[in-house]
Structure 1
Amino acid sequence: MDRNQVIALSAILQSAILVNRLATIGSIPNEERNPLLHSIFAMTPENIQDVYDGVENIKPGLQGFAQGLKNVPSQAKIYFYSLISLEKSLSNDSETLTILASGLESISTRLQHFDMTHENIIAGIADLYTQTLSKLSPRIMVRGDQAVLSQPHITNEIRTLLLAGIRSAMLWRQYGGTKFSLLWPWNKLPETAHQILLEI
């Protein structure tokens, strides 16, 4: 399977895994989250490695595919496929695409004053997700611990991770990804993911 497609898919999977973990236990490793935040603002990367500030930063996603999704929670798998479907809806909605692009450009100007992990940036991305992607179908319903999900900063983080997943899904499609290419067991996804891991 195309290496760039596998990298992008692994980033989608990493977003999905982190959303599930955040919704259930309320915390995630910054070193796994931050590369996904970085991808949101990587508007003109020279290559796919630049999108995530290095392929090694999406190791958890690559490991998920290399192991055939055996250790990926079922809810995370649902988020993964939902993100791909949601991006497809977005690609067919030029008005929402325009609003999303404009919103991200506006938020990126704040990076002159705030780090990308600052709550001001996270809240801005989450609000943009609510204004755009949450209105499209399929609407992603996040399940988890209600005591965790009731915290505004957690829901903001979750929406930000979902938007990062959409960013990677767009990248996957730009590299020629299709739903047909995800069918098991005919694709070479696990094999390619394993090969990339060996190179990291």
Structure 2
Amino acid sequence: MKDQTLTFAAICQVAHHVQQVSHHNRINEEDMAVLLNSLIQMSPENTLAVYGSDMINLKQGLELLVEHLGDSSNNAKKDKDPEFTRYLINLINLERRLNKQPKQLSLLGERLEACNRQLDHYPITSETLIASFASIYSDIISPLGASIQVTGNPAILKQTNNQHKIRALLLSGIRAAVLWRQVGGKRRNILFHRKKIISTAKELLNSI
């Protein structure tokens, strides 16, 4: 349950940052680096190692998970964010499609290895690496169908560098969804084990 909670928190964190970029052109380098680094961790020691082996790197995602899945009946903010929910569902659904395409999975691994080699010359948050991750999303994930429609400020979304950031973030969301499935995450768990997931997230937050 701990690993399922951490990986679902990572998906939440991605959805949040996609919203921040698309609506406000806002993401700091540290937050971007945490998510992009997850793309090149091919043989991690454990789930948390994918995100830098420090729980604080997923603190925001854990908080979002509690806020989003928590019971809002006694909360002044009763309305959940439908855009945020849509991103979560779409990322999970796209990963399911990817998992049924072994050739695309193999190609994805090859392309990510190529990005890993680029790290000899460029930092992970450089425009070059972000553009490379974005092209992987466009070439491999988008053709799977049920593409994610990102909404936001049209002026922000027109900018190529923001388009690249959003696609790179979405690719990291697919990575998180892969991990979530690998540790036993299922869509029905969100419905039937919601209280346990929230409880686990709170415990993890308290340990930070």
Tell me which interval the TM-score lies in, with the shorter structure as reference length.
Answer: over 0.9
Structure 2 equivalent of residue 59 of structure 1: 59
1:97 to 105, 116, 130: 105
Taking structure 1 as the reference length, what is the TM-score of the superposition?
0.95
Contact 1:39 1:51 in 2 (8 A): yes
- CA-to-aligned-CA distance 1:121-172 (integer Å, 9 cap, x gap): 0000101110010111221110111100000000000000000000011001
- 1:82-161 to structure 2, matched below 5 A, reads 82-161=90-169
Q: CA deviation at 1:184?
A: 5.3
Structure 1 equivalent of residue 171 of structure 2: 163
Change (3 A) 1:121 1:191: same
Contact 1:31 1:57 in 2 (8 A): no
- Percent of aligned pairs with the same amino acid: 35
Q: Distance in 2 between matches of 1:17 and 1:132?
A: 23
Taking structure 2 as the reference length, what is the TM-score of the superposition?
0.91
Runs of 5+ unmatched residues, structure 1: none
1:45 to 2:44 alignment = yes
Aligned length: 199
Q: CA deviation at 1:73?
A: 3.3
Q: Distance in 2 between matches of 1:30 and 1:153?
A: 14
Q: Give the aligned CA root-mean-square deviation in angstroms.
A: 1.5
Q: Distance in 1 between matches of 2:203 and 2:154?
A: 39
User: Quick one: which amino acid aligns to residue 125 of structure 1?
Assistant: F
Q: Distance in 1 between matches of 2:90 and 2:134?
A: 18
User: Quick one: which amino acid aligns to residue 180 of structure 2?
Assistant: W
Contact 2:65 2:198 in 1 (8 A): yes
Structure 2 equivalent of residue 15 of structure 1: 14
Q: CA deviation at 1:187?
A: 4.3
Moved more, 56-65 or 177-186: 177-186
Q: CA deviation at 1:33?
A: 2.2
Structure 1 equivalent of residue 204 of structure 2: 196
Q: Classify the secondary structure of the residue corresponding to 2:21.
A: helix
Q: Distance in 2 between matches of 1:63 and 1:193?
A: 8
Q: Classify the secondary structure of the residue corresponding to 1:142.
A: coil
Contact 1:181 1:187 in 2 (8 A): no
Q: Distance in 2 between matches of 1:128 and 1:117?
A: 16
Q: Classify the secondary structure of the residue corresponding to 1:183.
A: helix
Runs of 5+ unmatched residues, structure 2: none
Contact 1:107 1:124 in 2 (8 A): yes
